[in-house]
Amino acid sequence: MLDAARTGAGWACTRLWNDHAGAVAAFARARGSREPDDLTSEVFLAVFDRLAEFRGDERAFRSFVFSIAYRRLVDELRKRERRGEPEEWTPESAPRRASSAEDEAGARLGDAAALALLDELSSDQRDVMVLRVVADLTIEQVAEVFGKRVGAVKALQRRALQALRKKCCRPPYPSGPLER
C-alpha cells in the first residue's frame, strides 16, 4: 500500500488517511489543539509531500505520521503562546450564569475529567500517555517520535501512571483505616 501511495495511487492515499487520521485527530484534540481536524489535514499534507522520502513498513509509517503530528502540534501551541488567543463571549461563559446540577455533573464526567487529569502531568509525561493510549503507539515508536531512548520513555510512562494512580485511587477516608 505504501508503494502504491508513493506512486500517487488515490486509493492508497485514501486508505492511509482512513487508517491514521482518526488517531492523529484524537491525539491533537487530547493535547489541546484548537482545530484538531485542520491540524490533521496539515499533517497529512506534509506526510504525502514527504512520502517519497519515507522508507519502512507500516509500523514505521505510523511513527513517521505521529512524528509530523507532534511537531505540528508543538508549532501550534508555540504560536498560540506567543500571540495569545482572544476569547469569544458566549452566554454560557458568563460568570453570573448558574449552571444546573445536571450540567455540573456532566462536566465532571468523561473527556473533561480525563483531560484534567492529563493536564496535571508534566508535558513529557502527558505526551507519552496520549501517544501510547490515544495513538496506540509502542514504546519504541514513541521514543522515535520524541527522539529519546526507549528507557527514558518507559520511565516517563511509569511516572505518569504512578501520578495518575495517586490522583485516581485515593482511599475514601483521609487518615488510614477506620478503627473498630
All structural domains of the chain: 1-83 (1.10.1740.10), 111-171 (1.10.10.10)
Q: What is the pTM of this model?
A: 0.60
Q: What is the pLDDT of residue 164?
A: 86
What is the residue type of 144? E
Q: What is the pLDDT of residue 169?
A: 66
- Helix runs in the chain, H state only: 2-6, 10-30, 36-50, 58-83, 101-108, 111-119, 123-133, 139-146, 150-168
Q: Which of 88, 114, 97, 94 has its CA nearest to residue 31?
A: 114
| Grid coordinates of 99 | 449552571
Q: What is the pLDDT along the chain (180 residues), one digit of tens a residue?
A: 888 888 888 898 899 999 999 999 999 998 888 889 999 999 999 999 999 888 888 889 999 999 999 999 999 989 888 877 666 767 666 666 666 666 666 665 666 677 778 888 898 999 899 888 888 889 999 999 989 999 999 999 999 999 888 887 665 555 555 554
